[in-house]
Chains A and B, each alone.
Chain A
């Protein structure tokens, strides 16, 4: 497979060379980027790091170059994890060319060979992407064809095998747990407004789309009869009328027993809808989601985020400050009922409350509960989620009392005068730690969180920023009675305060000092300080950041996909640039 792709690449390259030898030099451009994240780990008895397990440093780095010449482009990415930073998957350890591609696209026809990133609709049946900060890459190595037969119509087809860390693509090693299958998919999208001339300038907007994706896998199971072809289909519609927009996508997947769903033979379903209203100064959006057994991987034994073919978006608010983002929700692959409501409003300039610059307000409510599962009959027994059975039945609109997550927050963002700017937020949070983090027996997190973020411009070049944050748990705090044997489950629990001062000299320098203090942990020895200091340097496309201090155990999430970061102490350096 790889040889064939490379040969094809060569042919494409040499073809371009011969045909356009002249314009080749004149019209081509090359760009690329580099990034290195390195950390030096140190022992720190204060936060219980008494052994580095022989690993005193980690380095994650990549370099990529891409070449463009009119309709043709090609590129590749080199990656090195020597060794990987703590918290990244051990399988990443190594280095090499992780990704390459060549694309020709003339507007009517587009062909890509190599590693493909694409998404059908909202991704419920197909999405391949790369997220460096998570060490996540599920690129599909193969071929993609895009045809645009008429204005507003796009047809896509993909075929290939997904990236599985450094495992070779051309040979799978079942003895080494590489059960990857082939992924094939087609997608069609029809934008009526671009396609039908009388609708070109209409206030009414409509786009229709549909996709079908299947995996072909090899049944290597000794216990179960694994289907060798698993298909999933989705249909979507986007409607708009003036200020109102509605979009929805529904997906269905046939039975797909896997390690994630405990080898049940139930079908999967997902529905994602949103309704929004926008006018200048006001935006309102309501989103709802139901997923049921929709984990879809090209390897039935896959764990965590390995080899996901689809993407189930969480629809909660994404926090950026350190305490509110300490308890970030991550999608539960086996089923969710979720809703979110968000309002953004700007009180106009020149009013009493709006002042000279206007006042920006935001409100968000998001909640995720489990779906309701009823037992099914197998043989002469009734059972719930038993491997090898149909698993369960589930009423589509029923919502379980089991709540995974809830976030109610309110934000105010106000420029007071030309020197002062204030942002403040209050958050009421519910977080089912047992389900989300898999800590069995851990009590739910019910907390009130608040932050104040104040910026002050000293002069045209210099500014100061202060952050003050607090997190207060309703139940687990100083004096909470815990079982001595479960003590370790209370790491990072209880009340926190955090503060940060940042001094910036535009355009190049920024210095910050901060502390997070778990002062209200029920376990006295966990009442630790997490001091950090950092220096950043920006110059055009280059960013250098050096930081030192303690990192608390936590979860880093991007796009609802998360990785856990172990507690650490040390010095870290990030350098990135592009050209």
Chain B
């Protein structure tokens, strides 16, 4: 029975590899900082690209990355219209802290709460920080694990490619 399942899966995988253009956003519903449900499959940015970054309040490199992005975000928005969704994987020990934390840091990103890592699991994120870039149609064009100083410049080059600049 297990083998059959594995075989079936292999077939599905093969089918998937041949798949064409599609949205790469999973059908997962999580909450935003206002407590409102957000269905990730319906995320969009008026046809402009958007970035999704997984992070946590206890993750040092994540905070560095957010601080670095915060400095350039206003310029990026003016130049490309890009939007950043910042997905916190903080669990219930720190969910209540996310909003005051984000506000206290003065960040302007759209923050989503992935309290039990449903979205992280669906997108195969094992360790934060993890960055995804989607084009205006929700197709995944770039992803990056981890954060090194200055890596935001590479992300921006990818964003520029998407908007054709």
Cβ A540 vs Cβ B145 within 8 A: yes
Contact indicator per residue, chain A 216-255, by CB within 8 Å of chain B (1) or not (0): 0000000000000000000000101000010100000000
Instruction: Identify which of B22, B118, B123, B154 contacts A26 (C-beta below 8 A).
Output: B22
Minimum CB distance partner of A314 in chain B: B93
Bin chain B's interface residue count. 35 or more
Shortest CB-to-CB span from A280 to chain B, Å, is 6
Segment with Cβ contacts to B, from A118-126, A157-165, A377-385: A118-126
Cβ A507 vs Cβ B103 within 8 A: no
Tell me the count of chain A residues lying within 8 A, CB to CB, of chain B: 104
Contact indicator per residue, chain A 94-121, by CB within 8 Å of chain B (1) or not (0): 0001001000010100000000011101
Could you tell me the dominant secondary structure of chain B's interface residues? mixed
Chain A residues within 8 Å of B22, by CB: 26-29
Chain A residues within 8 Å of B148, by CB: 463, 504, 506-507, 510, 538
Quick one: which of B104-143 are within 8 Å of A by CB? Answer: 104-106, 115-118, 121-127, 142-143
Most-contacted residue by chain B among A127, A247, A320 (CB, 10 A):
A320
Cβ B5 vs Cβ A276 within 8 A: no
Chain B residues within 8 Å of A320, by CB: 58-60
Asked if A460 is at the interface of the complex by the 8 Å CB criterion, the answer is yes
Contact indicator per residue, chain A 1-37, by CB within 8 Å of chain B (1) or not (0): 0110010011001000000000011111111110100
Q: In the complex, A396→B107 CA distance in Å?
A: 39
Chain A residues within 8 Å of B20, by CB: 25-26
Cβ B60 vs Cβ A277 within 8 A: no
Contact indicator per residue, chain B 83-110, by CB within 8 Å of chain A (1) or not (0): 0000000011111110111111110000
Asked if A70 is at the interface of the complex by the 8 Å CB criterion, the answer is yes
Q: In the complex, A528→B76 CA distance in Å?
A: 49
Asked if A205 is at the interface of the complex by the 8 Å CB criterion, the answer is yes
Q: In the complex, A10→B3 CA distance in Å?
A: 12
Shortest CB-to-CB span from A482 to chain B, Å, is 34
Contact sample, A vs B, 13 pairs, CB 8 Å cutoff: A25-B18, A119-B92, A191-B36, A245-B99, A283-B105, A285-B101, A342-B101, A344-B103, A346-B105, A415-B67, A463-B148, A538-B145, A576-B145
Besides the known contacts A122-B92, A193-B35, A313-B94, 11 further A-B residue pairs in the complex with CB atoms under 8 A apart: A26-B22, A28-B16, A64-B124, A65-B13, A97-B2, A318-B57, A346-B105, A457-B149, A461-B150, A507-B150, A578-B143
